[in-house]
Amino acid sequence: MLSRPEPPVTSVRVTAVRPGRHLELPEHLATEEPLEIRAAGPRQGPSAVAVTMRTPGHDFELAAGFLVTEGLVGPTGIAAVGYCATAEPEQRWNTVTVSLRHPWVPPPERRFLTTSSCGVCGKASIDQVELSCPVLRPSGTIDASMLVSLPDRLRRHQRVFDRTGGLHAAGVFGMGGDVVVVHEDVGRHNAVDKVIGDLVLRPRTGGDERALVLSGRVSFEIVQKAAIAGLGLVVAVSAPTSLAVSAATRLGVTLAGFVRGGRCNLYSHPERVALDR
């Protein structure tokens, strides 16, 4: 019988060095395993699309979110997601096939080997992102006092981080601070793909504007994923990169960085934030 997927936490023994002594202690680490994402259209065999290092758990959401945020599949183009029965036994739970409603046509000249630390930017430039992603227009506002509270609200849902201290988190919140979905992963981009994939596989109703909240920094690819998913507000505990700010400005995304201690910096489109509240 094949074992079940790896848990998100791995137990190890460490030698803890303390002033004047050392001792052996148990410790919990965030699990990191490869995940191969495959795609298949009707009457097609699975075709390898990407390999990413991730924390096991919510693999279907990760695969769906990746295909959607990379612009390879539309949100309504996914028929089903499952572990690949044809994979080698040792990779049975590290291979996911996304079944599509239309034929799968692999995109030319795309680089899809990713890592847990930096992810993948499949687009050559912001210009190409704009071709497949219309500029987002504000459809609501958030009080500034609510915006600066979102990282703390995200932190309350980081259950695996509490055990390991080694995971990123991404969450989608309403403008009133209500949590829609939160996922954790060893990779920032994976956590984002998981929450977006969750919205794709289990659509929620209500609320036009929603915020993507991150436990770390913001890169161009994160802004790209948010824009493609229609998330017009990105809130991050840490700093954005210059390309992230440029992309947010051009794609109509409100980007808030260094959101901590009741403060933040707004780098683009402050019109989504009610600054006096």
List active site positions: 118
3-state secondary structure of 180: strand
Element (H, E) at 268: strand 263-268
Which residue type, as a one-letter code, is found at position 258? F
Strand order in the sheet with 210-214: 179-185, 168-174, 210-214, 233-236, 254-260, 263-268
Residue 184, φ and ψ in degrees, nearest 5: -120, 155
The CB density around residue 41, as the number of other CB atoms within 10 Å, is 16
User: Between the CA of residue 256 and those of 81, 129, 174, what are the distances in Å?
Assistant: 33, 21, 15
Do the Cβ atoms of 36 and 169 come closer than 8 Å? Answer: no
